Every structure is written in structure tokens, then in C-alpha cells.
Structure 1
Amino acid sequence: MKPLNKTTVEKPVYPVKIMQFGEGNFLRAFVDWMIDKANNDGIMDHGIALVQPIGGGEVVKQIFEKQDNLYHVYLEGIKDKQPVKEVALIKSITDIINPYTEYKKYEELFLNEGLELIFSNTTEAGIRYEEGDDLNAEPPKSFPAKMTALLHKRFQKFNGDAAKGLQIVCCELIEDNGSTLREFVIKHAQANNLGDAFINWVKTANHFYDTLVDRIVPGFPKETIKEIQEEIGFEDNLVVKGEYFHVWAIGGDSSIKEKLPLDKAGLNVLFMDDIRPFRAKKVRVLNGAHTAMVPVALQLGCETVMDAFNTPEVEQFINRMVAEEVLPGIGEDPEELKAFAAKILERFYNPYLKHYLKDISLNSLSKWETRDFPTVADNYNKLGKQAKLTTFSLAALLVLYSGQSEVSFTPNDTPEFVQFIQSTFNKEDIKGWVNGIISNDKIWTAPLKNLPGFTDEVAALVETILSKGMKAAVTDLLQ
């Protein structure tokens, strides 16, 4: 087996136009994979320099350097109901920098005249405002402070030249990720008296983009790495495994289309003025289906998403819920919505990913409220009907959390909420028990209790599940 480096692979030389905060599996199997495709197609000519956003990480850095920043992305999934696999050797990473030990090299990178784009995935906790973060530290502690400091130094070096602003594309899994980062940069600038001219340059010469990223990336395939290395023919210790499906929605100033023409490489990258409607649609279809499926499938003995969709009752339950209740409540073109949902739900049939239901079940109460209650509310308020399938998923969730279900399950949720659900359970007064939960304003922020008939419907479905069992209850529901 060959080592993976520049002695065994011909690696092109690209000018560094992208600085990327984050060297983790997701960015490498998503963003960097896309850039590499566009580079290979001659659509782009962009080298990517990785910056480690937190201290440490020397072991990973050493592996990158040993492999000359080369690695494979190994994708498996379903496309048009057929198995599909793609293995790509990524050649567009030029360097990996630890700013805590290589600050001068890091500074040279962000002051590079040819730099155009910044990508980031500093995790959900990365975009936060830290009061008093020292902008003169090398580097500052938090990501927003790092961004403020580097932009200010760039502003000073180029004398406020508007052409030297950057396009900053955030991939953190929070809403309004780019907008929030921009807000915190300005807040740091104001707190440190960096001046109106700099703040104006941040606002006008730099563009911050809100995005929604979607691809399941399990990461390094530890269990099968030897087989994969044999298949690819290289001793690659940076292999990233992911699903074939991908979508990247980028919202904001339209100039990003020219700087990042990934759609021209046939990639599922969508540019839009405002990604919020798209996010809402994706959350209702994909995440809402996941959350609704979990309590039903777990009580039928399933362990993974694939197990669930190999169970006819679950497959029919989710497909009908999406088609009959979720999509009609969204209010867009029915045929476009149907095609969108088909692509989303096709992922549930992927036999190559072990997506465990117990992992998806984390914080199911808040997830159900955010992802599934809007469907119930819209069916009632807009369509004048009950969303009985979606409502059933809440009944199933309450039974699962009650400790009275057919399966042994320990909820991974807010302990006081779980304790309330379990301690108030009353087999002789299910309606009163359900009413107590739905009326608990500590559990819910949405007005579940105000929807006419909702509590009674949930209680009736809970009664059915407890008396007949999940299999019979969901079978009756689908008739």
C-alpha cells in the first residue's frame, strides 16, 4: 500500500484564496470536497488554507503535514433509488496553521492580498460574544474576536480599501450564523473603540452570509479503515466518510455567486436573498420527519433510521405524514414540494449509514415543538383540519418518556421535564395527565394548549397506544 503524499500523487498548486476556520470532518467532506470539484472542472482556481480555531490539535496537524494535506472523501448513499458511491481525492488544501503556535504565519495568511473568502465551522458554541475578549492577543480567544482583530488589521494594512474586504461564509449549525457573526464583530469593534471608519468598512466592504448546510458526515471510518485503504490503494489516515446527498443554501448579497460558482460544477448549492423560508421547509420535512419517527420506531424495536424504514408501518407513517400534513401546510408549489420531499426522504433508505434513533432522540420535546408543532398548527389554522399523524407522534413521544412503554428507554432530555412527565403519570386519568403536560409552560414556549381539540386528540391517541400497543395503534391510524 502506497503512502499518500506528493511523492505518490501529483498535486496541483493553487493560489490561496480561501481561509477556513476548522479542519474537522464536516468541512472537509462538504465545503472542501465542493471546492475541489470546482477546481478539477476548471470553474475555480482556489487553494484552501486551514486554520485550527482552538488550541491543541497537534496530532491532527502532523497527519495533515505527513500527507501533504491530501485525503479522500468516501461517499455512499442512494440516488434515484439506486445505490451510489463516490470516492474523491482532495487536492485543494494548501496548508494547515495553528494560530496559537504559528501566529505570524496566520497573520500573513489573513493579510494576503489575494485572499477572497473565509469559511468557518467553529461548532454551535463558536459564534458567541465574549465580553472583554482581548483583541491584541495572538490570537484572541473567541471566533468573533479573532474575526474582528483580523479584519481590523486588514483594514489598516490596505487603508480601508473596499476591494480588500472579504466574503465570509459561516457553516455553524445555528440560525442566522453569518448575521450573528457580523453583529458580534461590530459589537467587539464598538467595545474596543476601533472607530466608525472601520465599522463602516466591515458593513460595506465585507459580506457575511447566512447558510444552511446538510450532509450526514460520520467522519473517520475507524471500523472499516483497513478495507477502505486497500480499496483506494493509499495509507490515508484522514479519510472522511459521508452520505452522497448534499445541499448548501447560501443567503445574502448576490456577489457570492461569482466568487463561489459551485452550482456551475453541478453541485446542489442554492443562492438566495433570504434562506429562512428554505430552512423552515427543510426543518419541517427532514428534521420533523426524524423527530416524529423516533418515538414510533423505537417502540417497534428499531435501532436505526434504516431499521425504521425497513418497517412497513413506520415507512408508511412518515411518508403519509409528510405528503398529507407537512407539505400542504407549507404553501408552496405542490409539485416542487413533492420533488423536494422525495429527495429528502430518499436519504432515509441509505443502507450505508448507521444513524441511531437514540441519538436523534436527544431533546425530543423541544425538537417536536420546533419541528412538528408548526405542522399541527398550520393544518388547523390554514387548512381547517387536524394533523392526526403528526399529533400521533407527540402521543408516542409522551408514552415513550412516561416509562410505561413496551420498550425500556431512558430519555436524554431536560431532567426536570422528564421527571414531571413520569411522576405525574396516571393510568386512571390519561386525559388529565396529558393536559398537565401540554399546559406546562416550562416545557413549551409555543401555545400547544391553545389549539382547540389538540389536548383531547393527544390523550385519545395515548390511550390507544397504551391499551393496544404501538404496532396495533399505528396500524389503526393508517387505515
Structure 2
Amino acid sequence: MKKINKTTVDKKELPVKILQFGEGNFLRAFVDWMIHKANEAGVMNHGVVAVQPIAGGEFVANIFNEQDSMYHVYLEGIKDKKPVKEVTLVKSINEVLNPYSQYAEYEKLFLSDELEMIISNTTEAGIRYEEGDDLNATPPKSFPAKMTALLHKRYKKFNGDANKGLLIICCELIEDNGSTLREYILKHAEYNKLEESFINWINTACHFYDTLVDRIVPGFPKENINEIKEELGFDDNLVVKGEYFHVWAIGGDSIIKEKLPLDKAGLNVLFMDDIKDFRAKKVRILNGSHTAMVPVALQLGCQTVMDAFNTPEVEKYINQMVATEVLPAIDEDPEELKAFAAKILERFYNPYLKHYLKDISLNSISKWETRDYPTVYDNYKKLGKSPRLTTFSFAALLVLYSGKSEVSFTPNDTPEFIEFIKSTYKEYDINGWVSGILQNKTMWKENFTEIPEFGEEVSEDVKLILDKGMLKALKSIID
């Protein structure tokens, strides 16, 4: 079997226009895959240097070096209700370096004349403000401090030239990711009393973009890697497996569309002034469906999303909930919404990915409030109707967390919230139990008691599930 490197694969040198913080599976199967596609399509000619965001990581860096930073992205999924597979040998990364052991090379790249943009995925915990983080360290500890230090050096090297600012695109899974990074950079600048002209340069010459990324990336397929290597014909130890579906929504000024024209390569990249509405729509349809489905499907013995959608009652429940309660509460063109939802829900039928319900169930209490309660609220307040199916999912969640469900399940959520739900359970007073949960202000940001009917209907569904069992209860509420 062939090694994968420049002796076996033709790889041209690309100008380093992108410095990428993060070398993990997601960025490689999403951003770097897109950049490679755009390079191959001739709409871009961008090389990437991937920066490891934490110390260590020599083992991973060595594999990249051995493979000259090339690897395969192995995508499987459903498109137009048919199985689809795509395998791509990605060549967009020039090298991987670690700023803790290669600081001089790292700084040289950041200060290079041809660099145009920063792309990051330092996990949700990466964009955080650490007061007092030393900007003179090589490098500073936190990602915002690293960015502050190097942007300041770039500002000084180019004497505040407005044309040497950078485009900064964040992929971290937090709301307002780019805006939050800018806020923390400015905070570090002010704390360290950096010159006012530098702060003005950040605000005018550098462009920060909020984004929403979406592709399920399980990562290295260790369970069948030998079969995949045989299929590829390469001894590739950096293979990344992912789903075929992808979307990248990028919000901000129009400069990014000119500098990163990924859409011109046929990729599902959407440029918009503000991604808030798009994010809300995606969260309600995809994430809301996941969160609503989990407590129902788990109580039917399902383990994965595919198991759930192979259960006719669950499939019908989710499709009906989205069509009759979720979409009517979103203020957009109904036909466009229907098409958008169809593409989203098609992913639930993907037989190639083991998307475990127990993993999706992490922190379901806060997820349900964020993802599903807006649908409940809008149905009552805007549409004047009871969202029976969405409400049922909340009742299912309470039953699952109460320890009284038909299946044994250990929730992975805030311990004091789980304990409260369990310890206050009263078989003889379900209405009081539900009311106590809804009125627990430490658990919720929203005021659930604003809609009196909600608590009453949740209580009735809890009783229904406990009396009849999940399957019969579910059958009784779907048409």
C-alpha cells in the first residue's frame, strides 16, 4: 500500500493566505475540504497553515509531516433520498505548526505580506476572556490574547496600513462567534493600554465574521480503517469521515464574499449581512428536532438517530411536528421553508453515521429551552394554538429524567437540576410536580408560567406516558 506524500502524489505549493487556528477533524473535513474544492475549481489559490491551539500535539504534527499535510475526506450520506459517497484527497494545507515549540515560524507567517485571513475553531471554550493574559508570552495562553498580540505586532510592522488588516472568520459553536472574539480582543487591548490608533485599526481595517457551520464529522474511522485504506489505495492515517451534507453561513460585510468565493465552486456557502435569522431557523428545525426526538426515542429503546427514524411512529412524529408546529411559527416564505426543512430532515435517514441519541441528549434541559420552547411560545402567542407535539417532547424529557420511564437511563446534565426533577416527583400530584419544575427559576431563563396552558398540557402528557407507556402515548398524539 502506497504512502501518502509528495513522492506518491502531485502537490503544488500554494501561497499562504490563510492561518487556521485548529487542525482537528471538523476544520479538515469542512473548511480545508472547501478550500481545496475551490482551489481545484480555479476560483481560489489559497494555501493554509494550521496552527495547533494548545501545547503538545507532536504526535499529530508528525503524522501531518509524514503525509505532507495531505489526507482524504470520506463523505457518505443521502442526497435526494438516494445514498451518495464522495472521497476527496485534500491538498489545501501547506503545513501544521505549533506556536509553543515553533514560535518564530508562527510569528513570521502572521506577519507575512500575503496573509489575508484567519479561520478558527478553538472549540466553544476557546473564545473566552482571561484577564491578565500576558500578551508578551510566546504565545499568550488564550486564543483572544494570541490574536491581540499578533494583530498588534502586525499593526506595528505595517505602520497601521489599513490594507494589511485581516479577515477573521470564526467557526466556534457559540452565537456571535466573530463579534465575541473582536470584543475580547478590544478588551485585551484596553486592559494592556495599547494605543488608541491600534484599536481604531482593529475596528476599521480588520473584519470579523459571525458564522454558523453545519456538518456532522465523526472523524477518524478507526472501526474500519483498514478497509478504507484498501479502498483508497493509500496508507492514510489522517482520514476524516463525515456526512455529505454541509452548509456554512457567513455574516458580515461583503468583502468576505470577494476574498473567499467558495460559493462559486458550487459549495453550500451562504453570505449574508446577519446570520441571526438563519441561525434561529436552523436551530428550530434541525437542533429542535434532535432535542425533541431524543427523550421519545430513548424510551422506545432506540440508540441512534437512524434507529429512531427506522421507527415509524418517531419518524411520523418528528416530520409532523416540523410541518405543523415549527415551520408555521417561522416568518419566511412557506415553500422555501419547506424545501429547507426537507434538506435538513433528509440527514436523519443517513445510514452511514452512528449519531448516538445519548450523545445528543447532553444538557437536554437547556437545549430544550433554547431550541424548542420558542416554537411552543410562538404557537401559543402568534398562532393562537396548542403545539401538542412539541409540548409532548418536554413531557417525555421530564419522564426520562424522573427515573420513572420504561427504560433505564442516566442523564448527562446539570446534577442539581436532575436531582430536583427526581426528588420532587409525586406520583399522586403530577400537576404540582410539573408546576414546581416550571417555576424553578434556577433551571430556566424563560418564564414558562407565562403560558398557563403549557404546564397543564405537559402534565397531561406526563400522565399519558406514565399510564400507557411511550409507544401507545406517542401513537395517540400523531395523526
Correspondence 1:324 to 2:308: no
C-alpha deviation, 1:89, in angstroms: 0.2
**Unaligned residue ranges in structure 2 (runs of 5+):** none
How far apart in 2 are the matches of 1:365 and 1:132? 34
How far apart in 1 are the matches of 2:184 and 2:335? 40
Correspondence 1:149 to 2:149: yes
Which residue pairs with 2:163 in the alignment?
A: 163
Which residue pairs with 2:353 in the alignment?
A: 353
Instruction: Report how many residues are paired.
Output: 479
How far apart in 2 are the matches of 1:216 and 1:21? 20
Which residue pairs with 1:59 in the alignment?
A: 59
Correspondence 1:188 to 2:188: yes
Secondary structure at 1:338 match in 2: helix
C-alpha deviation, 1:450, in angstroms: 1.5
* Deviations 1:394-441 (CA, angstroms, capped at 9, x unpaired): 011111111111101111111111111111111111111111111111
Which residue pairs with 1:307 in the alignment?
A: 307
Which residue pairs with 1:296 in the alignment?
A: 296
Secondary structure at 2:319 match in 1: helix
Which residue pairs with 1:269 in the alignment?
A: 269
How far apart in 2 are the matches of 1:126 and 1:360? 21
Greater displacement, 38-47 / 427-436: 427-436
C-alpha deviation, 1:452, in angstroms: 2.5
Mapping of residues 160-309 of structure 1, within 5 Å: 160-309=160-309
Which residue pairs with 1:140 in the alignment?
A: 140
Secondary structure at 1:453 match in 2: helix
Identity %: 75
How far apart in 2 are the matches of 1:183 and 1:459? 43
Which residue pairs with 2:112 in the alignment?
A: 112
**Unaligned residue ranges in structure 1 (runs of 5+):** none
* Deviations 1:208-239 (CA, angstroms, capped at 9, x unpaired): 10000000000000111100000000000000
* Deviations 1:72-125 (CA, angstroms, capped at 9, x unpaired): 000000000000000000111111111111111011100110000110000101
How far apart in 1 are the matches of 2:423 and 2:41? 61
Which residue pairs with 2:344 in the alignment?
A: 344
Output the amino acid matched with 1:246: H
Which residue pairs with 2:388 in the alignment?
A: 388
Which residue pairs with 2:366 in the alignment?
A: 366
How far apart in 1 are the matches of 2:15 and 2:323? 48
How far apart in 2 are the matches of 1:134 and 1:453? 54
How far apart in 2 are the matches of 1:146 and 1:453? 51
Output the aligned Cα RMSD. Answer: 0.6
How far apart in 2 are the matches of 1:437 and 1:101? 51
Which residue pairs with 1:430 in the alignment?
A: 430
Q: TM-score, normalised by structure 2?
A: 0.99
C-alpha deviation, 1:193, in angstroms: 1.4
Correspondence 1:102 to 2:102: yes
Which residue pairs with 2:415 in the alignment?
A: 415
Which residue pairs with 2:21 in the alignment?
A: 21
How far apart in 1 are the matches of 2:34 and 2:174? 21
Secondary structure at 1:235 match in 2: coil
How far apart in 2 are the matches of 1:276 and 1:246? 18
How far apart in 2 are the matches of 1:441 and 1:396? 21
Correspondence 1:88 to 2:88: yes
Q: TM-score, normalised by structure 1?
A: 0.99
Output the amino acid matched with 2:27: L
How far apart in 1 are the matches of 2:420 and 2:155? 54
How far apart in 2 are the matches of 1:435 and 1:194? 53
C-alpha deviation, 1:299, in angstroms: 0.7
Secondary structure at 1:131 match in 2: coil
* Deviations 1:54-77 (CA, angstroms, capped at 9, x unpaired): 100000000000001110000000
Greater displacement, 104-113 / 429-438: 429-438
